[in-house]
Structure 1
Amino acid sequence: MNQELGIIRTILMKSYDGLPYHLKSCFLYLSIFPEDYSISPRRLVHRWNAEGYSSEVRSKSMGEVVDSYFMELIDRSMILPVKEPRGSRKGISSCKLNDLMREISISKAMEENLCFRMEERCSLNNQGAVRHLAVSSNWAGDQSEFESMVDLSRVRSLTVFGKWKAFYISDKMMLLRVLDLESTSGLVDHHLEKIGKLLHLRYLSLRGCEGIFHLPDSLGNLKQLQTLDITRTRIIKLPQAIIKLSKLQHVRAGGPYHILSSSGGSYDEILLKLSDSNKLSMWMWTATLMDFCFSICGRKFLEEIRG
């Protein structure tokens, strides 16, 4: 059996070696996620875009380019799609890596100093500078361990799985582009106070963080922010500072708690201001919000509503 697995692994390695450079980067990025983790395609491609894995090609936008990368990895059987007939991206609701592919992704990502995964019994990182830091749900270290294991000043993405610790956002993370806290437990408003210092941040996900009621005014400092996901949080108001985010392209909101207004003005006013420089994509799925969206969908700033 081990010999058979060895043969299969050799074949899969050849598949990896045959990937063009841009697809290798996208594939190795999947080493961030835990075993058997269902990855949302939209989450993945927005993160790739924030990382700079794409550029505009002829008539295609950067978003369309990373979409094509995702589909090409599917077509090459490097990642496994979970398909649903409706309500998902191109009929694909999520994707996964099989065990051998994940093993290859992790080993190659470590070889290239791309990703360090803090998890139970992990040792001090000797890889040098790493771009992507993932904190597993079973990691129980303290602040001194966290700051000594990797050079935080070089980290481009931070993904937290499981329970939040206040020291995860560090002043040293000056190059951070992606902060993905989806479904992180224990995260509350005051933990976001330092977020305005992450001046290169392009992707912020607080999805499923039900301890979050407000976004800080310092959000307005994030001039590079492209994607904001506050789905299934308790946020009911957006700060007025959001109108400063001229590069914001994707806002995802909804869930059991309705977004009703902005503390600095009506949604109509604030999103119209955003529209002056943005192509804004909005995704909202509560009935109240959908009524709101349809009532203003003729406005030029609401160019697409996806659900």
Structure 2
Amino acid sequence: MLPNNKASSSSSSTMDEAERKRIHAVLEKCYQDGDADISCMKMFLCALFLPDATTSTKLGNLEKKLQQGAEEPKEVVRIFCYSMLSTQQKSCLQYLTAFHDEESISRTSLVRRWVAEGIVGKEQDRTPEEVGERCFRELLFRGFVVEVGTSDGGTVRSCRIEDPIKEFIERIAKSENFVSELPSHLDRQLQIRKIVHKGRKHQEQELQDRWKRNVVGDLCCCGAPAGSDEEADSRAKPEHFKDPMDELVDFLKLLPHVYRLNVLDLGGCQGLKKRHLKSICKVVSLKYLSLRKTDVSRLMARHLQGLKNLETLDHMCHRAT
């Protein structure tokens, strides 16, 4: 059991003592059967730093829900912590559903995507990127994302979302939009990321297959021909196989005419060809395009001319605005 926190000062008000007891009761609910959910407890304690989080009414309602036992305690506590976020912070958090399969998310890329999507905007004496950076720090501090990599100076460079939080965000995004699926813009970003991941896996598989063919060819005795790479590729690919980048282009063509795709992240995807770029650069609504770690060395001037609304070209270490 957790240690019993009694008032340390006789001058403490009755309300202060009541709040302490409620906070202690919530923490005990996060510590059940000897299994402490540290991330949930941390999230709750960080939420208490908000000015109105420790009001008697809010803590009382939270304690009451936990006592009712209708929902899992961790879910009730996460909903309480989520309710303490601003509308803008909630939108930034929901956007993370587009990174469902990512093990590491670049902080810079994430903030720029928020800006491109219009989730964060300019505020008094702050640029949209500064506002986005502030939202990122808040989500990190409150435990909704965790750091993965930091710079030598201690700045967080990348983060990730733990599985329980991923599932929680998806449930929240669906419930707040009163639909069984994610909001359309999040769902489409998620579909794009799945296609891009498919492209990465396809490239990795091709490299493995090529290595195996080379090894077999080297070990082949009596000069028996192993066949050309093209023949081996055709044997390895099923008849229904479709190039992931061709699949992406088809997906873009099928988007509703009125839908404005603001962000296209192709980071890490190999296999981009001229025909793919030609179609991608016709998406005039794009504000953010990432070509990091792709095999595209540069974009031609004619490609950039088609991207009239482009604000950020995330390509290697360069940024064009």
Partner of 1:130: 184
Which 10-residue stretch deviates more, 59-68 or 104-113? 104-113
**Residue 83 of structure 1 contacts residue 92 of structure 1 at CA under 8 Å; is this kept in 2?**
yes
State the match for 2:198 in structure 1: 162
Q: Name the amino acid aligned to 1:8.
A: K
| Structure 1 residue 231 corresponds to structure 2 residue 311 | no
Alignment of 1:42-191 (within 5 A): 42-86=108-152, 91-112=155-176, 127=181, 130-132=184-186, 133=188, 134-135=190-191, 160-163=196-199, 164-169=244-249, 170-173=252-255, 174-191=259-276
Change (3 A) 1:187 1:102: same
Q: 1:55 to 1:128 in 2, by over 3 A?
A: closer
Q: 2 CA distance for matches of 1:34 and 1:68?
A: 22
Maintained 8 Å contact 2:97/2:170:
yes
Q: SS of the counterpart of 1:207?
A: coil
- Counterpart of 2:106 (choices 40, 43, 51) is 40
User: Which structure has the higher relative contact order (CA within 8 Å, separation 6+)?
Assistant: 2
Amino acid at match of 1:166: D
Tell me whether 1:251 sits opposite 2:305 in the alignment: no
Counterpart-to-counterpart distance in 1, 2:167 and 2:101: 10
Distance 1:10 1:129, change over 3 A: closer
1:2/1:187 CA distance change after superposition, 3 Å: farther
The residue that corresponds to 2:286 in the other structure is: 201
* Structure with the higher fraction of residues in strand conformation: 1
Given that residues 195 and 219 in structure 1 are in contact (C-alpha distance below 8 angstroms), is that contact kept between their aligned partners in structure 2?
no
Q: Which residue of 2 aligns with 1:236?
A: none
Q: Quick one: structure 1 residues 190 and 26, their matched pair in 2 at CA, closer, same or farther if it must change by over 3 Å?
A: same
CA contact (8 A) 2:277 2:303 kept: no
SS for the counterpart of 2:105 is: coil
**1:224-283, CA deviations, whole angstroms, 9 ceiling, x for partnerless residues?**
111101218xxxxxxxxxxxxxxxxx717xxxxxxxxxxxxxxxxxxxxxxxxxxx6xxx
Aligned length: 203
Structure 1 residue 135, shift from structure 2 partner: 3.2
Checking the alignment, whether the CA contact within 8 Å between 2:100 and 2:166 is kept in structure 1 is no
Larger Rg: 2
Identity of aligned pairs, percent? 30
Code of the residue aligned with 1:215 in structure 2: it is: L
Deviations 1:153-184 (A, max 9, x none): xxxxxx73231331323234451100001112
Does the CA contact (< 8 Å) of 1:189 and 1:214 recur in 2? no
Distance 2:123 2:285 in 1: 24
Structure number with higher helix proportion:
2
Alpha-carbon distance in structure 2 between the residues aligned to 1:70 and 1:128: 22
Q: 1:13 aligns with which of 72, 79, 90?
A: 79
Quote the Cα distance in structure 1 between the aligned partners of 2:311 and 2:270.
24
Q: Is the 8 A contact 1:28 1:106 kept in 2?
A: yes
Say if 2:215 is the partner of 1:215: no
* TM-score normalised by structure 2 residue count: 0.56
CA distance in 2, matches of 1:50, 1:85: 25
The structural deviation recorded for 1:130 is 0.4
Distance 2:147 2:299 in 1: 34
Write the deviation string for residues 77-117 of structure 1: whole angstroms up to 9, x where unpaired: 21112352417xx6112111122111111222233459xxx
Cα distance in 1 for partners of 2:268, 2:291 equals 7
Extract unaligned runs of 5+ from structure 1. 115-124, 140-158, 233-249, 253-279, 281-307
